[in-house]
Amino acid sequence: MAPIAGDLVGQVRDFGFALLPLSPAAALDAALMDWPHRDPFDRMIAAVAILEDVDLVSSDTAFDALPITRIWG
Q: What's the CA gap between 16 and 1, in Å, rounded?
A: 23
Q: pLDDT digit string (tens) for 37-64?
A: 999 999 999 999 999 999 999 999 999 9
Task: Report pLDDT for 17.
Answer: 87
Query: Predicted confidence band at 73 (pLDDT cuts at 50, 70, 90)?
Result: low
Three-state secondary structure call for residue 63: helix
**What are the φ and ψ backbone dihedral angles of 24, each rounded to 5 degrees?**
-60, -35
Q: Structure pTM?
A: 0.80
Task: Report pLDDT for 12.
Answer: 87
For the chain, how big is the Rg over CA atoms in Å? 13
